[in-house]
Amino acid sequence: MDLFTFLSSSVMVLVVFTIVLTLVPISVYLERRVSAVIQDRLGPNRVGLPLTLFGAKKDFHLFGLFQPAADGIKLFLKEDHTPAHVNKFYFILAPALVMVPALLSAAVIPFGSTMDMPFFEGRQVQLAVANVDIGPLLIFAIASLTVYGIVIAGWASNSRYPFLGGVRSSAQMISYEICLGLSIIPVLLYFGDLNLGRIADQQSRDGWLLLPIAFGGDGPVVDWRTLLLLPTLLIAFIIFTVSLFAETNRAPFDLPECETELVSGYHTEYSSMKFALFFMGEYAAMVVGSALIVTLFFGGWALPFGLDNLIRDPATGAFPWWASLMHMGVFLTKVIGFIVFFIWVRWTVPRFRYDQLMKLGWVVFFELALANILLAAILIAIFG
């Protein structure tokens, strides 16, 4: 590894870390504002720049965009109370175990296209921390560690509600991990690749997976092979999305923290920054999940209809630096759009009963995913 690769990777680590950690407060803000407009309310719209403190005539409200900062300061200043009856070591370990996997799995997601570096002739940089050949597998492997954080939190709290929440979440997350993994096999069969960078790149050439129309490329505008596979890919998308809802403990599958039954589930005994870590971990998991869905099904950083073919360097397949930064913006827009979808669903669908949740996972999605794999494999074998 030469110095350039080392430096560019380090910068990428910082960038990805910043992006994910910035998207978390943005999604908290969106959660509050979107839920408000859905319920005919306004939501937090006051917290902005307090210019009147510095002698100005008017405050600058900024649509309340500084609300998450105020929330963060509040959580930071709260008393960090550790109850006497908890198992201290695991009690402190658990919030970190929820937060870390969510941040780690962001490493393999391509946040933008391959960039021709300015000032460094002939150098190219991947806008991902680790462009490894096992992208989705790595994400699943790391994301499954989240369940330890929640179970340990429930166990170490040494009280009933957190314990019930922990038990529920372990059963739920393990069940839905199966559907999550099985559901994207048709997609991986279609791409024939596990490298998320190349998956996104292919979608920028041939159009998005769920919108397979591409102008300006080498191939035809509409790929009939993809159109034939589209129903199976659509089923894969639905199963994957719903399983992701369950995997990230979002409504309508937020049974582990189900406040009507369990106070607030596994983080009942937590306060201050330890609670904030759970909170941020949940939202970071949602951000990474949205990023994965976008990368697999909605072209990642790619513009729709293969528009990227017009600006691509035909020899190397890389993009000029401005295009790469634009791709990053496109990717973030899509991710935020998906986060809004997550929130929209949360404020629409009532929570599932636990047996309904298990039935949906094991009886409906598991079989459907298996049948879908078979169907996709046969179709690819015949027409592929």
Residues that bind other proteins (CB under 8 A): 34, 36-42, 238, 344-345, 347-349
Closer residue to other proteins in complex, CB, 50/192: 50
| Contact of 45 with 64, CB cutoff 8 Å | yes
Please, which residues have CB within 8 angstroms of residue 81's CB and are 6 or more apart in sequence?
A: 271, 272
At its nearest, how many Å lie between other proteins and the CB of residue 280? 26
Closer residue to other proteins in complex, CB, 126/183: 183
At its nearest, how many Å lie between other proteins and the CB of residue 151? 29
At its nearest, how many Å lie between other proteins and the CB of residue 32? 13
Closer residue to other proteins in complex, CB, 45/158: 45
Closer residue to other proteins in complex, CB, 42/378: 42
Q: Residues of 309-344 as b/e, b for ≥16 C-beta within 10 angstroms?
A: beebeeeeebbeeebbebbbebbbebbbebbbebbe
At its nearest, how many Å lie between other proteins and the CB of residue 174? 23
| Contact of 103 with 83, CB cutoff 8 Å | no
At its nearest, how many Å lie between other proteins and the CB of residue 379? 23
At its nearest, how many Å lie between other proteins and the CB of residue 23? 21
Closer residue to other proteins in complex, CB, 228/345: 345
Q: Residues of 268-306 as b/e, b for ≥16 C-beta within 10 angstroms?
A: bbbebbbbbbbbbbbbbbbbbbbbbbbbbbbbbbbbbbb
Q: What residue has token string 């089923």? A: 235
Closer residue to other proteins in complex, CB, 12/34: 34
